[in-house]
Structure 1
């Protein structure tokens, strides 16, 4: 396998988002390059809000990459403060879930859900677990069990046995899905930046 040249994404909120020469970061870059994820470039983060806030034309694509970076920082901080060892496979699952958490969004984001009655979470799980999507194929190529393990981040009704089998502790699933998660940490900063408002600014 050829060595991965250092890659960075420059982001207006998080500045430099690096990708190292690791199996995990290779997978993340592969997922970013799928057609399902690239589609998020055309999905507005705040739906039709740019009609009121002209600067609010940022995408779900940028937001998802930002959430991945926040999740990485959160895990690094937890490991440093608690002394807990986060396994590589657990770390990969969290970062992949953070990156893909909005891949199921339709046009105009949440406004589309009200029209179709289908949640973006349900669509996200379909994309992740499907054997015919580029996302699903890349996940299975990396680890055949990974698509099923990712369900613990998106399905609140998952059986206790399945949750236990995924071997992802609650404190890690909460990095992606909780009342104080990487998703909220990113969109507060990103949306306030794009709209020119102060309500979401804080020191991350």
Structure 2
């Protein structure tokens, strides 16, 4: 039975619109596990309200990816297909699916000498035919588009002979990506930190794709980018 579209109320972005076929991915046990993975690990012992989780953060990154791809399609028609925009948005949604408890606290050279990174385990979950999230992803996208999303996440320049523009990966993982944009404002809101602050909407509106396929920033958007960098 097809799932209904949803409107999820978020403390940062307010209404997050989720179509039913994406809700099927969110409802999997592997994604729901992120409700129990705190974004800032043990920071709540210093900042009592900083007990927000990677579930909310992943939804926030998903939402911002949707806003950015829609903005690009509006100001640069033809730069991104609807199919690829969906892949970018789902890659943002699933970027933290493999995170263990205590987040990055356990990610040290000593640990990595023996154990794999959260990115590795995320891919294991997404590629497996035995996980709910792996099955839901293939059901939503099909095998070929799922593989294209993995290629995008890996930073590949093409998949099955079809180009993948660099900016698609940059939306999900770069020095100015939706992951960082979300956790910076979310962490600030939940810790009460008063350092920096930036206008997400203006940052998103200022981004354009150049002839080389990479992002550049409109001149009028530079102050917003500078505020982002100061906040980081």
Query: What is the Cα deviation at residue 164 of structure 1?
Result: 6.3
**Distance (whole Å) between structure 1 residues aligned to residue 84 and residue 122 of structure 2:** 20
- The 3-state SS of whatever aligns with 1:17 is strand
Query: In the superposition, relative to structure 1, how do residues 45 and 64 fare at CA in structure 2: closer, same or farther (>3 Å)?
Result: same
Query: What is the Cα deviation at residue 83 of structure 1?
Result: 2.2
What is aligned with 2:150? 151
Query: What is the Cα deviation at residue 191 of structure 1?
Result: 0.4
User: Which stretch has the larger CA shift, 118-127 or 92-101?
Assistant: 118-127
What is aligned with 2:130? 132
**Residue from 28, 32, 42 that aligns with 1:38:** 32
1:80-99 to 2 correspondences below 5 Å: 80-99=74-93
**Distance (whole Å) between structure 2 residues aligned to residue 87 and residue 196 of structure 1:** 39
Q: Report the TM-score when normalising by structure 1.
A: 0.87
Gaps of 5+ in 2: 201-232
- The 3-state SS of whatever aligns with 2:8 is strand
- Which of structures 1 and 2 has the larger relative contact order (alpha carbons within 8 angstroms, sep 6+)? 1
Cα RMSD over matched residues? Answer: 2.0
Query: In the superposition, relative to structure 1, how do residues 178 and 163 fare at CA in structure 2: closer, same or farther (>3 Å)?
Result: farther
**Residue from 163, 177, 195 that aligns with 2:191:** 195
Cα contact 2:35–2:56 (8 A) shared by 1: yes
Query: What is the Cα deviation at residue 194 of structure 1?
Result: 0.5
Query: What is the Cα deviation at residue 151 of structure 1?
Result: 2.1
Cα-to-partner distance string for 1:81-130 (whole Å, 9 max, x where unaligned): 22235222211211110100000000011123337422111111111111
Query: In the superposition, relative to structure 1, how do residues 121 and 49 fare at CA in structure 2: closer, same or farther (>3 Å)?
Result: same
Cα contact 2:72–2:80 (8 A) shared by 1: no
**Distance (whole Å) between structure 2 residues aligned to residue 192 and residue 137 of structure 1:** 35
**Residue from 66, 69, 93 that aligns with 2:63:** 69
**Distance (whole Å) between structure 2 residues aligned to residue 189 and residue 81 of structure 1:** 25
Query: In the superposition, relative to structure 1, how do residues 104 and 165 fare at CA in structure 2: closer, same or farther (>3 Å)?
Result: farther
Larger Rg, first or second structure (1 or 2): 2
Gaps of 5+ in 1: 20-24
Query: In the superposition, relative to structure 1, how do residues 134 and 165 fare at CA in structure 2: closer, same or farther (>3 Å)?
Result: farther
**Distance (whole Å) between structure 2 residues aligned to residue 166 and residue 84 of structure 1:** 15
Q: How many residues align?
A: 195
Query: In the superposition, relative to structure 1, how do residues 83 and 101 fare at CA in structure 2: closer, same or farther (>3 Å)?
Result: same
Query: What is the Cα deviation at residue 131 of structure 1?
Result: 1.3
What is aligned with 1:57? 51
**Distance (whole Å) between structure 2 residues aligned to residue 68 and residue 95 of structure 1:** 5
Cα contact 1:149–1:166 (8 A) shared by 2: no
**Distance (whole Å) between structure 2 residues aligned to residue 6 and residue 102 of structure 1:** 23
